[in-house]
Amino acid sequence: MRHALALGLALLSTSAIAAEPADQWQAKARTIYQHAIETPTVQGRGKVPELARYLADQYKAAGWAEADIHVLPYDGDPGDHTAALIVRWPAAKPSGKKPILLMAHMDVVEAKAEDWSPGLDPFKFQEKDGYFYGRGTSDIKEGVSAVTTALLKLRASGFQPTRDIIVFFTGDEETSGNGARLGATEWRKWTEAEFGLNSDGGGGGVTPDGRPLGFTLQTAEKTYAMYTLTVRNKGGHSSKPRPDNAIYQLAHAIEKLEGYRFTPMLNETTRAYFTVRAKGDKGALGDAMRAWLANPNDGKAADYIEASATEVGLTRTRCVATRLEGGHADNALPQLARATVNCRIMPGTEPAAIRAEIERLVGDPGVKVEQTGNPAMSLASPLRPDVVAAYTAAVHKRHPDAPIIPEMSTGASDARPFRVAGMPVYGVDGSWGVIPDDERAHGRDERLPVKAFYEDIDHWVDMLTMLAGK
């Protein structure tokens, strides 16, 4: 997934300026980007291994040793063979510091040409009116290409890393996420690092007239968990209704869930996020943020924030009914009624605790509350001063006025299994888009400003120079 910055609601129009490749590195990045976009790495098409080998060849040609490059085939969803790419750049001047892991994913969400605007094809790379168009231009073949080119450029410039730099690109982030899970467990001998820097997170937003809204630094994401509420009943003939009825009983439980609000929670990331947001909002929403920050027990303030369209999901765990099934005949009392509930749980909260809370809330032993699957609790990564400083400096070099906004994402990415396994990960990409018109990840006419793409190469060069140089 790719979460673009959702701050401010600016009017639509584009002021991005076209930019020709200014040097061999921009030209190289563009070539890699085009090749990546035109390799349709959609689930089920089996194209990820091909892209992984192409990228491996780029590193090989630039001087990386065969032994440091691994294309690892694995299974994504059943029957879908995909691959991960792991490339190690061993420290030239070892400082004793543990490696840095650079992350992205090579797969993309499906797209159909007939759904896109005339003249655009999701798997045909196009530059038009200051934008690069194609599936994956913003999620996240841009990151794959910028990170790769940054490393090629650093190596060619004679840069001597003081710690190992490891590239880890997965092939099924958008679907089953097995690559990230393997990366955080079985493949740990190749991926072990002090922390990860994920290009599939962070990034910035600007208004149509070019005013920076801010760049996010993603440190946390909520846990995705599923629950079912099930009522069983002996049923009977519908001509003889009884007070006990599976559908009514379930409906009463769901009604309780609808009105329920979990206890608001602030963590290091959301506290930093709301501090920046409050500064930029002089209105009622800003007042609520200031009140909540001053008193985290001010539930009314948190409720006000939660109810706003821009902040929903950021103040607490949220659960919502997403599916419903019940009954087996038009003329029979239902024997079964079941609702599926999707929860997005705050980092640090166990999914089992949310199940217990829903059970208490429903307060009916006839409604069975069960967790499906086995989601791991997510953990927030601490705001490391070295990462925050490197990201801030790299962003401010190109966008001096942009606020840096720590972010907890309400969705999930490849970062989660690493955070759960104890390795902090930071979403720190340097690309940006015009808000809201360029927020098209997973959607039609996906695009990225040409300028944002080329800037991102040097953003990664600058961050790696700071974190893995000297």
Q: Which residues bind Zn ion (CB under 5 A)?
A: 1-2, 139-140, 200
Minimum distance from residue 459 beta carbon to Zn ion (Å): 17
**Smallest distance from the beta carbon of 173 to Zn ion, in angstroms?**
6
Shortest Cβ 139–Zn ion spacing (Å): 4
Minimum distance, C-beta of residue 429 to Zn ion, in the bound complex (Å): 10
Contacts 24+ apart (CB under 8 A), 68-76: 70/190, 72/182, 72/187, 73/49, 74/171, 74/178, 74/179, 74/182, 75/178, 76/43, 76/107, 76/171, 76/172, 76/175, 76/176, 76/178, 76/179
| Rounded least distance, CB 140 to Zn ion, Å | 4
Q: Give 111: exposed, middle or buried? Use CB within 10 Å, 0-12, 13-18, 19+.
A: buried
Closer of 172 and 455 to Zn ion (Cβ): 172
User: Structure tokens of 5?
Assistant: 């910055």
- Between 40 and 161, CB nearer to Zn ion: 40
Contacts of 360 (CB under 8 A, 6+ apart): none
Name which of 140 and 377 has its Cβ closer to Zn ion.
Answer: 140
Provide, rounded to whole angstroms, the least separation between the CB of residue 107 and Zn ion.
9
**Of 1 and 288, CB closest to Zn ion:** 1
The least CB distance from residue 1 to Zn ion, in Å, is 5
Residue carrying the six token digits 């007939």: 114
Gap between the Cα atoms of 430 and 454, Å rounded: 10
Identify the DSSP state of 376: P
3-state secondary structure of 246: helix
CB of residue 205 to Zn ion, shortest distance in Å: 17
Q: Which is nearer to Zn ion, 41 or 349 (CB)?
A: 41
- The token duo for 385 is 């001063």
177: tokens are 């996420």
Contact indicator for 446, 138 with CB cutoff of 8 Å? yes
Closest by alpha carbon to 438, among 425, 450, 447, 451? 447
Q: Which is nearer to Zn ion, 139 or 456 (CB)?
A: 139
Q: Closest approach of Cβ 177 to Zn ion, in Å?
A: 11
Residue whose CB is less far from Zn ion, 200 or 281? 200
For 381-440, the DSSP string reads PP--HHHHHHHHHHHHHH-TTPPEEEEEESS--THHHHHHTT--EEEEEEEEEETTTT--
| Chain position carrying tokens 């997965």 | 170
Q: Which is nearer to Zn ion, 80 or 172 (CB)?
A: 172
Considering beta carbons, is residue 2 or 47 the nearer one to Zn ion? 2
Point out which residues pair with 148 in neighbouring strands: none
Between 26 and 409, CB nearer to Zn ion: 409
Distance in angstroms (rounded) separating the CA atoms of residues 319 and 314: 13
> Nearer to Zn ion by C-beta: 347 or 427?
427
Q: Residue 289, SS3?
A: helix
Phi, psi of 360 (to 5 degrees): -65, -45
**133 Cβ partners below 8 Å, 6+ apart?**
120, 125, 126, 127, 445, 446, 447
- Residue given tokens 């659960």 in the structure block: 319
Q: Which is nearer to Zn ion, 133 or 262 (CB)?
A: 133
CB of 234 to Zn ion, least distance (A): 48
SS3 sequence, 114-161?
A: HHCCCCCCCCCCEEECCEEECCCCCCCHHHHHHHHHHHHHHHHCCCCC
Nearest distance, CB of residue 219 and Zn ion, angstroms: 17
Name the 3-class secondary structure at 215: strand
How far apart CA 123 and CA 111 sit, in angstroms, is: 8
Min CB(200)–Zn ion separation in Å: 4
- Name the helix (H) or strand (E) containing 460: helix 450-468
